[in-house]
Amino acid sequence: MAVSRVQFSETTMLATVRSATLSGIVGHPVQVEVHVASGLPGFTIVGLPDASCREARDRVRAAILSSDLTWPMRRITVNLAPGDVPKVGAGLDLPMAVGILVASEQIDAQSVQGLGMVGELGLDGSVRPVPGAFPLVDSVEAPVVVIATADARVASIVGSDRVRPVTDLKQVADVLAGRRCWPDPPPVDCSGDQPSQPDLADVKGQRAAKWALEVVAAGGHHMLLVGPPGAGKTMLARRLPGLLPDLTHQESIDATRIHSAAGCRLPDSGLIRRPPFRAPHHSASMAALVGGGSGRSRPGEVSLASNGVLFLDEVGEFAPSVLDALRQPLEEGVVRVARSGGSVEHPARLLLVAAMNPCPCGEGGSAACRCPASARARYSRRVSGPLLDRLDVMVQIGRPDPAALLGRGAEESSADVAKRVAFVRALAVERGAATNAELTEAQLEVHAPLSDEARTTIRDALVSGRLSGRGLRRVRCVARTIRDLDDAGTEIRECDVAAALSLRARPVMGGDHD
């Protein structure tokens, strides 16, 4: 049990309050030790605080005075233990303030036994939410944690009986003094938890592209869409999350932890239940995409899209070095960010969908293309071969037929496709993998044996150089998904392999004209 203690003498008083700090998406327990001694008035914070944490001395002092409490005119030293763990953010403001009140005998030490605290203080004494409330509360080594009311819903995921929401420092002092009771947590409003998803029926025509999208959703395969502006690439990508099943409980916990650590807006209930969809701008830096940055290591877009979809629109406009940074996360499902101050590991189990034009002007392959051959070649090289080798499905689409755009015939809805997707994903779980794309070589030998004709087709692709060693496993995984969508038979047929190889064929970029 966490214990706050106070020691008295004529010149020295000491108090300790439990809290936590954030490293990546993981919380680390922290003991906030407050030492109040005689001497020239001052306030010093030690224990590897970052800039926002060092600035707490001004916030804490103003918050205590604004709450009609007394600021001790003595020498105050705050130690954030352990001293070898960097402390980031303003979440240690509240435990610092309470520690000062305990050490200066304005709060009884016994009243804070078993309490942990996380929260930023405003100059008026208000307790404000902090990024990463979920992992922070989960890591505090105390049975009860005091947090801001705005963080109550997400923090209650770790256990509503552990959370004590407060609005200001004065309220905390009154409760600890016995003048008030802990307030009830705010009611959970789930009305905004399920935002409407765009429907696949809105996409007119493009039957081949929609079938490829179904294969991608069912098997968890990465995808590249190539086509001119207005062909429907973005429309297709934005409808992919609507084809995916709800997250499992553990996936919801993981996604919520990542989004909480990144400071993203969470659903009203606090728990993310639908696959996330992230679409960063093509000017995103490497740190923004894969995570890291100076100071606190933040999860990047690949981690925020974990268990969901990462959509890279205009992928040809991304910096090549940024795109190549995706190669290891796509292969291993994690991002390892190493810096001089330490290293962190973020999850990156995502479904990547990239879209690009066939050339800079977007009209590649037609007489309207204005790009010289050098510009087309330079544009196509921005997406490297090793990255393309990790994309299982590549679809070249053209502008839809005007008759399809103007027709009144009903297109298949996302709900109908989602049923087939859920069926295939359930089969993958029975085989021991979350999706067919994650099947290992050993699992493929058991659950996706090749017919003699299919084996011959794959051998020819390997001999001709159209298929790499990595691509061999990926083609078998896609063929398994295609067979599951057809009749879920055991043996992989030649037609399944041929379809998987056709989906893997790299699209033509730019055309042959000058």
Going by C-alpha positions, the residue among 507, 234, 288 that lies closest to residue 391 is: 507
> Does the residue 327 lie in any domain?
yes
Mean pLDDT of the region 32-43: 91
pLDDT at residue 127, rounded to an integer: 96
User: Which of 62-66, 213-217, 364-368 has the lowest average pLDDT?
Assistant: 364-368
The answer to whether residues 345 and 300 belong to one domain is yes
pLDDT > 90 fraction of the chain, expressed in percent and rounded: 63
As given in the structure block, the two tokens for residue 442 are 């050993």
CA–CA separation, 499 vs 504, rounded Å? 9
Give the H/E segment covering residue 252.
Answer: helix 249-261
> Does the residue 385 lie in any domain?
yes
> Does the residue 415 lie in any domain?
yes
As given in the structure block, the two tokens for residue 263 are 């400071």
The answer to whether residues 230 and 170 belong to one domain is no
The answer to whether residues 336 and 461 belong to one domain is yes
As given in the structure block, the two tokens for residue 73 are 């005119």
- Max distance between CA atoms of the chain, in angstroms, equals 90
Residue 98 CB neighbours (<10 A):
30
350: domain CATH number?
3.40.50.300
The answer to whether residues 61 and 106 belong to one domain is yes
> Does the residue 514 lie in any domain?
no
The answer to whether residues 240 and 110 belong to one domain is no
pLDDT at residue 512, rounded to an integer: 44
Look at the chain and report how many structural domains it folds into.
2
Pairing between strand 144-148 and 120-121?
Answer: unpaired
> Does the residue 194 lie in any domain?
no
- pLDDT tens-place string over residues 345-354: 889 999 999 9
pLDDT at residue 11, rounded to an integer: 53
Residues 6 or more apart whose Cβ sits within 8 Å of residue 467: 458, 461, 475, 501, 504
The answer to whether residues 153 and 248 belong to one domain is no
The answer to whether residues 75 and 116 belong to one domain is yes
If you write DSSP's letter for every residue of 179-231 in order, what string do you get?
A: SS-PPPPPPP--TTSSPPPPPGGGS-S-HHHHHHHHHHHHHT--EEEE--TTS
- Would the pLDDT of 218 be above 90? yes
113: domain CATH number?
3.30.230.10
The answer to whether residues 214 and 142 belong to one domain is no
> Does the residue 211 lie in any domain?
yes
> Does the residue 1 lie in any domain?
no
Give the range of the structural domain holding residue 31, as residue numbers without chain letter.
Answer: 6-176
When mean pLDDT is compared over 121-130, 190-199, 260-269, 371-380, the highest value belongs to 121-130
Work out the pLDDT band at 270, boundaries 50, 70, 90.
confident
The answer to whether residues 158 and 244 belong to one domain is no
> Does the residue 512 lie in any domain?
no
The answer to whether residues 146 and 228 belong to one domain is no
> Which SS3 state, helix, strand or coil, does residue 73 take?
coil
Work out the pLDDT band at 38, boundaries 50, 70, 90.
confident
**Could you tell me if 89 and 53 are in contact, meaning their C-beta atoms sit under 8 angstroms apart?**
yes
Mean pLDDT of the chain: 89
The answer to whether residues 235 and 161 belong to one domain is no
CA–CA separation, 269 vs 272, rounded Å? 8
Per DSSP, what are the bridge partners of residue 322?
none
pLDDT at residue 500, rounded to an integer: 95
Q: Is the dihedral of CA 251, 223, 277, 319 positive or negative?
A: positive
- pLDDT tens-place string over residues 128-165: 999 999 999 999 999 999 999 999 988 888 887 889 99
The answer to whether residues 260 and 123 belong to one domain is no
